[in-house]
Structure 1
């Protein structure tokens, strides 16, 4: 494994607001850089009470400005929401301001409800244009060309583009285009092994990448004891359960017994969705992470965790870095 990184959704917590969430993102990014994380990615979600990273490119620029070494990027930009030219200009501008530090992960899902998707792109078309949009975007970020529409800034920046996915489609596309691939196993682990096998077997070398490069996302909630970690993690379980049952909101406060708050059938679904996670005291989490690395052989791991207490969130990231640096 080459690197370990962090994915941040800028969670808006119960009792807090977006300003506090964004301040928490800055604090976490600075702690992550000091702890040795390689990348810090932010994700695009819209019309959600509990997530403050909707204007993802803006927030990436802010985080890049308050850090100095880490790669900062999108994990990801939901390309169906945007014109490829606009994305190329935004990330080309970021790459011009912060040379060699910007990543662009692309997702196929809208990352929101259909009414919000219409509000974002205004005119939705019935056919799936993701492949064409990715290729158009790559062309805008590639070498300067004569004639036609150009992304300025953008052309010639060569911003590294990743394909994100939670199914087999993204694995096939990333392999076909010769791009790095990140699997969203932190919330959709069912097809992880099959997707990685398809990507690795079908990979075609490209100018961007000579050999397959895989990153898997892993939930992380690490504390001084297993009991404290389980308590802190209940916030994410509650948030996921409410999302699954049509009641999304701010990140809930943790509870002592999550089984009292979530019906058993729903909790089983939540725990399955969050199964690719490291939860517990450092020794417990170390064993879990070692097993994941041995089983899936990722080139990189990206951790993410929705923890209500800001101090506990920073502590979890620091403990995780200590573990992964030693593996």
Structure 2
């Protein structure tokens, strides 16, 4: 995985299969595939999906199953997890699932791993049953997963078939500095969730780069940051589209999860001054506006972070508007340095 800069810096997508008001998870899956095909044609590098549970607005809970649907409906774009929440799963099962995907779709599957549950603690207990740790054994789980995917494991009593010996790139995901140390120590690429947890982005990137140890997988640090991008033809229209995103986030703040609803003319009266400030702090790595506004914001972000790759996510209610946002983003990104 080589460093890429300037106009050839890769641009990717994170999708959560959002469920819209009045729609079903089936609709969400069809929208996700439509988006994947669209961004593939635009030359995006990866299409990742995130594991979340017990959320009415997110349908990507069975992430590996859904990735098979996306990979089967596309032909060139890399498809992967952003991420699989490894403490929820036995490493052997993950190795078998992604070994199956990589066997069906060679050289196209990525395995991003996170240590958080991707849900609330009650649901985490239901998922994990006998394993109720808080991700404290995450490094050991990653190492076990790597073992199952290695060719050297072919003489062991427990083997991942398929999976063993396949070249499936493993990424470490993080929203704090903890995983930065792990990714650096293991010599793995590092993806940061700045789209909802930007506070420690710069510290995590610095730690990862300073402590990185070359490995058989990666010779030099490789960083990716996820950001929110809502682009439209004008700043006014983009800010209107963003109100769907704000309402969704407001539900998270209040603990009242809901499906993503249509945009409104203004958030005034819908959230308090405190809630607005809290949301905008957590969503500071968001670029919302017309092409010029988005380009200016993204250029400043790249200048500050020097990340090797950008992953974007767009919480937009209208699917045509969402596709158009990614079309505009592709054009804008081509102009960045």
2:150 to 137, 142, 146: 142
Larger deviation: 191-200 or 245-254?
Answer: 245-254
2:137 to 125, 129, 135: 129
2:332 to 320, 323, 327: 323
SS at match of 1:315: helix
Contact 1:74 1:105 in 2 (8 A): yes
Q: 1:259: Cα distance to partner?
A: 2.6
Question: Any unmatched runs of 5+ in structure 1?
Answer: none
Aligned residue number for residue 27 of structure 1: 34
1:69 to 76, 81, 99: 76
Aligned residue number for residue 208 of structure 1: 217
CA distance in structure 2 between the partners assigned to 1:170 and 1:314 by the alignment = 32
Larger deviation: 122-131 or 282-291?
Answer: 122-131
Q: 1:157: Cα distance to partner?
A: 0.6
CA distance in structure 2 between the partners assigned to 1:188 and 1:123 by the alignment = 29
Q: 1:322: Cα distance to partner?
A: 1.2
Per-residue Cα deviation, 1:29-66 (whole angstroms, up to 9, x for no partner): 00000011000000000111001111100111111011
Which 4+ residue blocks in structure 1 deviate beyond 4 angstroms?
A: none
What root-mean-square deviation, in Å, do the aligned CA atoms of Structure 1 and Structure 2 show? 1.0
Normalised to the residue count of structure 1, the TM-score between the two structures is 0.98
Aligned residue number for residue 168 of structure 2: 159
SS at match of 1:40: strand
Question: Any unmatched runs of 5+ in structure 2?
Answer: none
Give 1:227-246 correspondences, 5 Å limit. Answer: 227-246=236-255
Aligned residue number for residue 106 of structure 2: 99
Q: 1:277: Cα distance to partner?
A: 1.4
Contact 2:193 2:226 in 1 (8 A): yes
CA distance in structure 2 between the partners assigned to 1:51 and 1:169 by the alignment = 26
1:51 to 49, 52, 58: 58
Q: 1:258: Cα distance to partner?
A: 1.0
Aligned residue number for residue 314 of structure 2: 305
CA distance in structure 2 between the partners assigned to 1:125 and 1:254 by the alignment = 39
Contact 2:125 2:132 in 1 (8 A): no
CA distance in structure 2 between the partners assigned to 1:125 and 1:23 by the alignment = 34
Contact 2:13 2:44 in 1 (8 A): yes
SS at match of 2:209: helix
Q: Report the CA distance shift for 1:226/1:121 in structure 2 as closer, same or farther (over 3 A).
A: same
Q: 1:325: Cα distance to partner?
A: 2.2
Contact 1:45 1:111 in 2 (8 A): yes
Q: How many residues align?
A: 327
CA distance in structure 1 between the partners assigned to 2:60 and 2:242 by the alignment = 21
CA distance in structure 1 between the partners assigned to 2:307 and 2:175 by the alignment = 15
CA distance in structure 2 between the partners assigned to 1:185 and 1:125 by the alignment = 27
CA distance in structure 2 between the partners assigned to 1:161 and 1:322 by the alignment = 29
1:16 to 18, 23, 35: 23
Larger deviation: 182-191 or 257-266?
Answer: 257-266
Contact 1:259 1:267 in 2 (8 A): no
Aligned residue number for residue 43 of structure 2: 36
Normalised to the residue count of structure 2, the TM-score between the two structures is 0.95
